[in-house]
């Protein structure tokens, strides 16, 4: 990133005192709150396990896991209880509820 800045500012004199190599993107992302949002039309017996397993087995760490449906809300686990969702911190929102708060 520093090389791009230096190439755009050729009037700077060499050597470039105070500049050092760093990964600015990784530094920025490490300070952001991350949220994974998964969308499906509805949760039913056929897709519930697939939707929850997709959120449980993310290959990266996130602070919040949200599942947005058309008109369902709350946390409903695979057996109809809220235990599966609560254990994984999965929050289920209806589309209207989620975007009305923005």
DSSP 38-100: EE-S---TTTHHHHHHHHHT-SS--SEEEEEESS--B---TTSSSHHHHHHTEEEEEHHHHHH
Using alpha carbons, list the distances in angstroms from residue 80 to 41, 47, 75.
17, 13, 9
Mean local confidence (pLDDT), 14-34:
65
pLDDT at 1 exceeding the cut of 90: no
Span 7-24, average pLDDT: 62
Residue 29 to residues 23, 33, 61, Cα–Cα distance (Å): 10, 8, 12
- pLDDT exceeds cutoff 50 at 80: no
**Domain count within the chain:** 1
Kindly tell me if the per-residue pLDDT of 102 is higher than 60.
no
96: CB partners within 8 A, 6+ apart: 71
The secondary element (H helix, E strand) that includes residue 3 is helix 2-8
Encode pLDDT of 33-77 as tens digits: 888 899 999 999 899 889 988 888 888 788 899 999 998 887 554
Percent of the chain with pLDDT over 70: 61
Which residue range(s) make up the domain with 39?
A: 2-100
């Amino acid at each position: 990133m520093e090389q791009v800045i230096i190439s755009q500012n050729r009037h700077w004199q060499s050597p470039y005192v105070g500049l050092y190599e760093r990964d600015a993107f990784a530094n920025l992302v490490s300070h952001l709150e991350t949220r994974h949002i998964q969308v499906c039309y509805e949760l039913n017996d056929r897709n519930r396990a697939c939707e929850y397993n997709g959120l449980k087995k993310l290959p990266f760490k996130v602070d919040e896991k949200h599942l947005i449906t058309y008109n369902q809300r709350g946390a409903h686990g695979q057996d109809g209880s809220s235990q599966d969702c609560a254990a994984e911190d999965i929050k289920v929102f209806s589309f209207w509820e989620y975007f009305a708060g923005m």
